[in-house]
């Protein structure tokens, strides 16, 4: 047997303790599978006195994660602190400078600094692995970098935030408004300290940017992701979508087009009978499309102690076995500069708006849409009162640019109360 692989774990929250438990409970199994033992040399967290669900008294303690990263008895820094900068980035940089490999679950750090960290790792002959940063226990990074390495990827899409999926499916199943389910999710501990990371789509967009880099050989470009959260989705939208055979999902889509790389994380309508449409609760799903393999669907737990710790350990085990791959599947120095393109593939759209109840209002709406080259497929007026008239429109296939022009034109009609809700009907 080879010498043990020695870990330094920075961050002892839910995932960090999950990693400790796996190392402690499956020591013999890990050694048999890797050909060497996996051990924990030292640990680091903000609160040493906190009561935790695993025995950590047997490990050396460091108050400073940078000092942990530089220890001579640490081969791999396992960074589980989170945050795009600060201690997480400093410890990662220190580990790489000291000749250590790094395993991280930190999607925000990689989405913002992934290129420079990958280049630093590869220049020093080290590896930087991040399976746990995307979709929890689903092995989507490994699938892209290894299983589908012989494919030219054509599209990557998925539901990548379990909290948003929980809120949307709970709204539909219980008939509850967004605000009520949001509070429920908060009470259950599903929301980040900053809820906009979840419901604003930021967390999921971080993940999409990382997957797009692997899939299309480009530098990570989180800033180019078109981003829209779920906070404007109403129970009426949920019900109308269901009546038409659709469900609403916060859907990430990345695809290379002749104009450049499209990346968008937005609420969309998907067929209720599709795998994405059938996804319930806090589960995640990644859909990968390659020119040779066709479509691959991966489904599983996107967060939580066990699933995310499982993904961390998958990276640790690869390192223990001697598998050393570039961070994003090919050398970071060879990744192409991203030429960002706005999503503009023709697709039907769902529009919901509230009109002032006055003569000719519908005619003005139809004229504004027609002059913007948006053709109406279906129109329905519902819940009419003496002041306002809610209207639902489904368009024929059109482009995002045409929809944007139409929304601007509708705002100039004087008959639309507030900005319309516009959701693409995504072909899946």
Model confidence pLDDT, tens digit, residues 43-69: 999 988 888 888 899 999 999 999 999
The confidence band for 344, taking pLDDT boundaries of 50, 70 and 90, is confident
Model confidence pLDDT, tens digit, residues 403-428: 999 999 999 999 998 889 999 999 88
The candidate with the shortest Cα–Cα distance to 9, out of 118, 114, 132, is: 132
Distance of CA 414 to the CA centre of its chain: 38
Q: Which tokens in the block code for residue 314?
A: 């998958």
**Of the spans 48-62, 87-101, 227-241, which averages the highest pLDDT?**
87-101
Between CA 422 and CA 237 the distance in angstroms is 10
- The predicted model gives 273-288 an average pLDDT of 94
The confidence band for 1, taking pLDDT boundaries of 50, 70 and 90, is low
- The predicted model gives 331-354 an average pLDDT of 90
Whether 256 and 162 have beta carbons less than 8 Å apart is answered as no
- Kindly report, as residue ranges, where domains of CATH 3.30.360.10 are found in the chain: 140-300
Could you give the 3-state DSSP secondary structure of residue 276?
A: coil
- The predicted model gives 368-388 an average pLDDT of 86
Chosen CATH of 5-104 out of 3.40.50.720, 3.10.180.10, 1.20.58.760, 3.40.190.10? 3.40.50.720
Domain 140-300 has CATH 3.40.50.11740: no
Mean pLDDT for the chain overall: 94
The pLDDT assigned to 345 comes to 81
State the burial class of residue 397 (Cβ atoms within 10 Å of its Cβ: 0-12, 13-18, 19+).
Answer: middle
The confidence band for 191, taking pLDDT boundaries of 50, 70 and 90, is confident
Model confidence pLDDT, tens digit, residues 98-152: 999 999 999 999 999 999 999 999 999 999 999 999 988 999 999 999 999 999 9
The pLDDT assigned to 398 comes to 95
Distance of CA 377 to the CA centre of its chain: 32
Q: Which helix (H) or strand (E) holds 104?
A: strand 101-104
Other beta carbons within 10 Å of 227: 18
The candidate with the shortest Cα–Cα distance to 399, out of 352, 347, 351, 350, is: 347
The pLDDT assigned to 269 comes to 96
The candidate with the shortest Cα–Cα distance to 252, out of 24, 9, 426, is: 426
The pLDDT assigned to 385 comes to 67
The pLDDT assigned to 271 comes to 95
Q: What is the 3-state secondary structure (H, E, C) of 12-69?
A: CCHHHHHHHHHHHHCHHHHHHHHCCCEEEEEEECCCCCCCCCCCCCCCEEECCHHHHH
Between CA 121 and CA 394 the distance in angstroms is 49
pLDDT at 318 over 70: yes
Give catalytic status of residue 207 as yes or no.
yes
Place of tokens 């995640």: 284
Fold designation for 349-425: Alpha-Beta Plaits (3.30.70)
- Kindly report, as residue ranges, where domains of CATH 3.40.50.720 are found in the chain: 5-104
Query: Considering 89, 107, 142, 207, which one is annotated as catalytic?
Result: 207
pLDDT at 382 over 90: no
Whether 395 and 349 have beta carbons less than 8 Å apart is answered as yes
- The reported pTM is 0.93
The pLDDT assigned to 303 comes to 84
- Kindly report, as residue ranges, where domains of CATH 3.30.70.260 are found in the chain: 349-425
Distance of CA 236 to the CA centre of its chain: 26
Percent of the chain predicted with pLDDT > 90: 83
């Amino acid at each position: 047997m080879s010498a043990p692989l020695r870990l330094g774990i920075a961050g002892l929250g839910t995932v960090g303790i999950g990693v400790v438990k796996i190392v402690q409970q499956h020591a013999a199994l890990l050694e048999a599978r890797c050909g060497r033992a996996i051990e924990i040399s030292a640990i680091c967290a903000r609160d040493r006195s906190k009561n935790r669900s695993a025995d950590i008294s047997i490990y050396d303690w460091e108050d400073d994660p940078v000092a942990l990263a530089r220890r001579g008895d640490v081969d791999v820094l396992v960074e589980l602190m989170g945050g795009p900068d600060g201690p997480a980035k400093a410890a990662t940089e220190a580990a790489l400078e000291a000749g250590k490999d790094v395993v991280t679950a930190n999607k925000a750090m990689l989405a913002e600094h992934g290129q420079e960290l990958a280049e630093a790792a590869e220049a020093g002959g080290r590896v930087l692995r991040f399976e746990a940063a995307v979709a929890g226990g689903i092995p989507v990074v490994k699938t892209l970098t290894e299983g589908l390495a012989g494919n030219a990827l054509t599209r990557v899409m998925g539901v990548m935030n379990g909290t948003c999926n929980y809120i949307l499916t709970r709204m539909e199943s219980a008939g509850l408004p967004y605000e009520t389910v949001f509070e429920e999710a908060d009470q259950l501990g599903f929301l980040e300290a900053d809820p906009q990371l979840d419901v604003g789509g930021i967390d999921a967009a971080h993940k999409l940017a990382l997957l797009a880099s692997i899939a299309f050989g480009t530098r990570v470009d989180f800033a180019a992701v078109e981003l829209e959260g779920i906070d404007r989705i109403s129970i009426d939208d949920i019900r109308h979508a269901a009546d038409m055979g659709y469900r609403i999902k916060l859907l990430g889509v990345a695809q290379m087009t002749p104009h450049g790389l499209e990346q968008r994380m937005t609420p969309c309508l998907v067929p209720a009978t599709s795998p994405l449409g059938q996804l319930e609760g806090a589960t995640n799903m990644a859909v990968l499309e390659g020119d040779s393999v066709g479509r691959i669907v991966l489904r599983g737990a996107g967060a939580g102690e066990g699933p995310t710790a499982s993904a961390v350990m998958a990276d640790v085990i690869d390192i223990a076995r001697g598998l050393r791959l570039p961070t994003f599947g090919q050398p970071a120095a060879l990744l192409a500069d991203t030429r960002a393109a706005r999503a503009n593939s023709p697709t039907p759209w769902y529009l919901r708006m509230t009109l002032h109840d006055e003569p000719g209002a519908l005619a003005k709406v139809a004229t504004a849409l027609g002059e913007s080259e948006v053709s109406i497929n279906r129109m329905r007026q519902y819940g009419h009162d003496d002041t306002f008239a809610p209207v639902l429109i489904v368009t024929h296939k059109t482009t995002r640019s045409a929809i944007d022009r139409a929304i601007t034109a509708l705002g100039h009609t004087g008959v639309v109360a507030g900005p319309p809700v516009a959701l693409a009907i995504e072909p899946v």
